[in-house]
Structure 1
């Protein structure tokens, strides 16, 4: 009789105390940091997206929005781990701006978190446009993009517990640039780091030739480029200094000194990692890389993935000292 009573008490304890603890722990334990984590909260996070072409704000599930960003920002032919790194960067960038997470939203469009206009943030493309772009590869590529987003579900890059400014670019060259040398703001996680994996980028090298008159027209008549070049004035065209990553800091062209960023914009160069030379009465500009050069290098990420590195290694390479966390922890 005592044995029966003891077993009865034990069964009650299991049913009333132990099992509920296990069930509660399964739903409210520590958020998973990687893999294909699927959490109810994360699956229902809503982001307010400004569709710039239609000029309207649309509410979307964050993870579905990210598929359109990754598809627009990185070639689907890239390695899966590179696409995962892009997904984490894109998610971090979006969440950093979301008012629901304390972000400031889109200043140009009150009520929106982000825009589909790449000039205001991240590019985005819908499935119909992707069907036209990818043709017969649509299903394969869309599944791959979806896999990259879903297998990093909820993951963001943080520094000291805060979402980072997860900027990225196409091709960096030998080194990425620091945020300070490009924009004047210093972030500990946006430092210049070596990049040796993007040499196969089709945008790695570019050359442009300009007549003296073209350069004067683009940079302004006050530069007096034509007169300076025709008179063979000493120092009429010279790079005065370079940044930490080897990009042009200041350059004299004609009678005026410009920043490398100014020349890049005015001459429509791929980056401000360039050199200039005179050849056959023309100014030849040789450029390395594509984009501002700060943060994640997309072709570098693909090169790292080809060498067997995963998205966590890629993220922590280009964003110095960051940690990957899940937004469900916030």
Structure 2
């Protein structure tokens, strides 16, 4: 009888305590130290995401993660085929970063493949943020973005069989920039190509004005902008050279020559595709485009979609010579 009671007690412990603990642990597990567990069989790839606002790493399904990226990186009002192109670019970027696929992950956050901080990786937003942002449009927009991700499930862009650096930006202007002219790295699929579809972008044109004193304060007194203006000559600002895509290579401001990228960063311009002039005693920068200009142009993708191009044509327009493959295919 005692043995029966002991067995009964043991059974109760198993059913009431141990089994529930295993179940709960299964749904709330911490990332494993075995990086090979990142990839499961079939279409259930897990990606380790550093949530920078919460300062923790979580695992989530790759496709669900991509939905949050597309929602954060591209306006949900865009055409479906443009959203599909963004999904392919975002998935390619993510998979290339994953340690399980040979990537390096996030160096600042050991154990994470990607970060939700756009300065480290791609932007990403959760359901709560999206509901705040979209309001009553949430259900419609989330359904649309989910469709874009599901209909491109597993699709990534490759060049000679290798995952590409799938960078993207908002608005390019007349041409995209090559990776070489922006970062000094030469990728055959990230070359300058025409972009005739983004002229309706609200970020296509921008204008910023600075007093000459402000310019000296930002760029340093050694520029001598005010003195150059007072002394006449060729003026306090002059573009010295342009890049292959028409962006500013070098520009002289006062007595100092800087790169277009430096001016963009220090003067907080939308792009390095600008001209500069003196108007009413102020230095005026007129820019075209928004972002670094390399790779997929998001407003260009939307324009192409409006013209009837599908996501495959959009991807191959902005990433020269690439092919699509499915990471879930055997």
State the partner residue of 1:48: 48
State the partner residue of 1:37: none
For residues 139-180 of structure 1, the C-alpha deviation after alignment (integer angstroms, 9 at most, x for no partner) is 000000000000000000000000000000000000000000
Instruction: Output the CA distance in 1 between the equivalents of 2:41 and 2:67.
Output: 18
State the partner residue of 1:156: 156
Change (3 A) 1:81 1:42: farther
SS of residue paired to 1:233: coil
State the partner residue of 2:231: 231
Q: Does 1:165 align with 2:165?
A: yes
Instruction: Output the CA distance in 2 between the equivalents of 1:185 and 1:321.
Output: 17
Under a length normalisation based on structure 1, what TM-score does the superposition of the two structures give?
0.87
Instruction: Output the CA distance in 1 between the equivalents of 2:317 and 2:61.
Output: 29
Instruction: Output the CA distance in 2 between the equivalents of 1:221 and 1:254.
Output: 10
State the partner residue of 2:219: 219
Unpaired stretches in structure 2, ≥5 consecutive residues: 1-39
Q: Does 1:296 align with 2:299?
A: no
State the partner residue of 2:309: 309
Contact 1:43 1:61 in 2 (8 A): no
Deviation at 1:231, TM superposition (A): 1.8
Under a length normalisation based on structure 2, what TM-score does the superposition of the two structures give?
0.87
Deviation at 1:227, TM superposition (A): 1.2
For residues 102-155 of structure 1, the C-alpha deviation after alignment (integer angstroms, 9 at most, x for no partner) is 001111111100000011121000111111111111000000000000000000
Q: How does 1:166-185 map to 2 (within 5 A)?
A: 166-185=166-185
Deviation at 1:205, TM superposition (A): 0.2
Instruction: Output the CA distance in 1 between the equivalents of 2:144 and 2:80.
Output: 7
RMSD: 1.1
For residues 219-275 of structure 1, the C-alpha deviation after alignment (integer angstroms, 9 at most, x for no partner) is 111111111122223253110000000000000001111000000000000000000
Instruction: Output the CA distance in 2 between the equivalents of 1:56 and 1:63.
Output: 20
Q: How does 1:25-36 map to 2 (within 5 A)?
A: none
State the partner residue of 2:319: 319
Q: How does 1:1-330 map to 2 (within 5 A)?
A: 41=41, 43-329=43-329
SS of residue paired to 1:196: coil
Contact 1:43 1:63 in 2 (8 A): no
Instruction: Output the CA distance in 1 between the equivalents of 2:313 and 2:164.
Output: 17
SS of residue paired to 1:111: coil
SS of residue paired to 2:265: helix
Greater shift, 265-274 or 224-233, is seen at: 224-233
SS of residue paired to 2:214: helix
State the partner residue of 1:28: none
Unpaired stretches in structure 1, ≥5 consecutive residues: 1-39
Instruction: Output the CA distance in 2 between the equivalents of 1:224 and 1:113.
Output: 46
Instruction: Output the CA distance in 1 between the equivalents of 2:86 and 2:311.
Output: 8
Greater shift, 303-312 or 43-52, is seen at: 43-52
Aligned length: 291
Instruction: Output the CA distance in 1 between the equivalents of 2:233 and 2:42.
Output: 63
Instruction: Output the CA distance in 2 between the equivalents of 1:112 and 1:129.
Output: 22
Instruction: Output the CA distance in 1 between the equivalents of 2:102 and 2:234.
Output: 54
